Amino acid sequence: MTSRERVIRTLQHQPVDRAPRELWALPGVTGGRADEYRRLLERFPPDFAGAAVRYGDSGRASGQAYTLGEYYDEWGCGWRCAEDGVAGEVFDPPLADWSSLTRYELPWELLDGADFSQVDSSCAATDRFVKVGTHTRPFERLQFLRGSQALFEDLAYGTREMFELLAQLHAFYCREMEMWAATDVDAVSFMDDWGAQNALLISPAQWREVFKPLYRDYCDILHAAGKYVFFHSDGHIVAIYPDLIEIGVDAVNSQLFCMDIEELGRLYRGRITFWGEISRQDTLPFGTPDDCRAAVRRVRAALDDGHGGVIAQCEWGKRDPYANIEAVFEEWERPCPSSSSQPTA
């Protein structure tokens, strides 16, 4: 069973030899702990790969991301990092004053100057499942451009300028999705962090009215081209799980341990693929290897639909012990109980 076959069968809720695996490592690990990072990947090779692509250059970007200090991204948003290896937070939103909207232009150069010429050949060169990330994150980009407090006020009052900007962002993201839909990649992912610790950051009703239609368009574009759709959100998002399923998200990455994992399984097991994870708030940074193994067993017991339906994903933060990440993948290495007769790759 190749990696691509393993992931596709998991997404289709068919028997697999083992859970497909994917490691997310933050820059503090890939840079500051490179030897440990390489050692883990050698022991547990990922079933996912990216594609060879280069987005266009933006003259608005300056400084170095993920390093102590300040930098500006391609959209003109100013970021401040208090420590190396983390993204930081926006301190200079370019649209803090709506009077700037008429002069602001989205960074279309990222798409106009993108080089997709090697995407298909890079897909053909691997037997891994090719999943690509995108710029698509309408809610978060609104925050970065506007500032979080100002955006929540805009949402509360239904500010006209916010909807104008959101329409522009949506046009940008639809074009990006169409570009990826024309390639040979297996899946495309997008994201927005929607949850606080115990609930959504806005009401589910407003989410459904304003943002759900945008996400539906992205799913429709990708599904029409035969691509799988992966979506990530931090926080407590149980309220919108049925909506994500309805619009066609194939795999969702969420902070399971913020929610009732067993209830998620009871309601949605077999209806969507659970794309990880293990708690980044306590288990990975502060637990023991045995705690991490127990967390994997809990996720599997709750969410395995009898044929898999779960991707062995976790995020490695700069302070998480190597032994904890190793324990996660050791436990996931065990065959799915329902499909132990399948050949091992």
Query: Which DSSP letter does residue 144 get?
Result: H
Radius of gyration in angstroms for the set of CA atoms belonging to the chain, rounded to a whole number = 20
**Chain-centroid distance, C-alpha 67:** 22
Q: Say what the alpha-carbon torsion angle 261, 267, 269, 272 is, to the nearest 10 degrees.
A: -100
Q: Which two tokens stand for residue 338?
A: 């329902």
Q: pLDDT digits over 317-338, tens only?
A: 999 999 999 999 999 998 665 5
The two tokens of residue 26 are 């933050």
Predicted confidence (pLDDT) at residue 102 exceeds the cutoff of 80: yes
Treating both helix axes as pointing N-terminal to C-terminal, what angle do 289-303 and 261-268 enclose, rounded to 10 degrees? 30
Our CA angle for 206, 209, 214, nearest 5°, is: 120
How far apart are the C-alpha atoms of 268 and 220, rounded to whole Å?
A: 21
Q: Is the pLDDT of residue 69 over 60?
A: yes
In angstroms, the CA 290 to CA 288 distance is 5
Q: What is the pLDDT of residues 104-144, one digit of tens each?
A: 999 999 999 999 999 999 999 999 999 999 999 999 999 99
β-bridge partners, 189: 230
Residue 343, pLDDT above cutoff 60: no
CA separation for the pair 228, 248 (Å, rounded): 9
Total residue count of the chain as it appears in this document: 345
Average pLDDT taken over every residue of the chain: 94
Quote the pTM value.
0.94
The domain made up of 3-53+116-339 is a member of CATH 3.40.50.2300: no
What's the distance, CA 53 to chain centroid?
18
What are the pLDDT digits (tens) for 255-266? 999 999 999 999
Residue 126 to residue 66: CA distance in whole angstroms: 30
Question: If you average pLDDT over residues 174-187, what whole number do you get?
Answer: 98
